[in-house]
Amino acid sequence: MPVSRLLLAALLLGLLAVPAFAADPPDLACLTKTEQRAAVAAHKAIPLAQAIKSMREHGHWAEVVRARLCRRGDDLAYVLTLLAHSGKVTRATVDAANGEILNGR
């Protein structure tokens, strides 16, 4: 009986980990800090502060806990992980070229 409980517990932990692996779509390749600075300097991306300001203007008042600049096809996008006042963690994607909110969950 203890082996089946252990197996069940391992299975449940595995199922709980699936959303964490599915959280980052495979088509996103994020830039290094050096590449991020170069993209902003070359005006291929707006500064992160401007992307956050754009997000706030659209009513997203959550705290930004993680920000990444990633390639999304041929374009660049900021992928922002947000922590709401309620404690809920969400993600918003902002077009790095113009600050447009692409999606916010």
Sign of the alpha-carbon dihedral angle for 70, 55, 40, 64: negative
Query: What's the pLDDT score for residue 22?
Result: 43
Tokens (6 digits) for 55: 């997000």
* Cα separations in angstroms, 19 against 14, 15, 30, 40, 64: 10, 8, 19, 32, 20
* Residue 48: other Cβ atoms inside 10 A: 18
Domains of the chain: 26-104 (3.10.450.40)
Query: What's the pLDDT score for residue 46?
Result: 97
Across the chain, which has 105 residues, the per-10-residue mean pLDDT values are: 52 47 60 96 96 90 95 94 94 94 79
Query: What's the pLDDT score for residue 42?
Result: 96
Query: What's the pLDDT score for residue 71?
Result: 96
Count of residues making up the chain: 105
Query: What's the pLDDT score for residue 14?
Result: 52
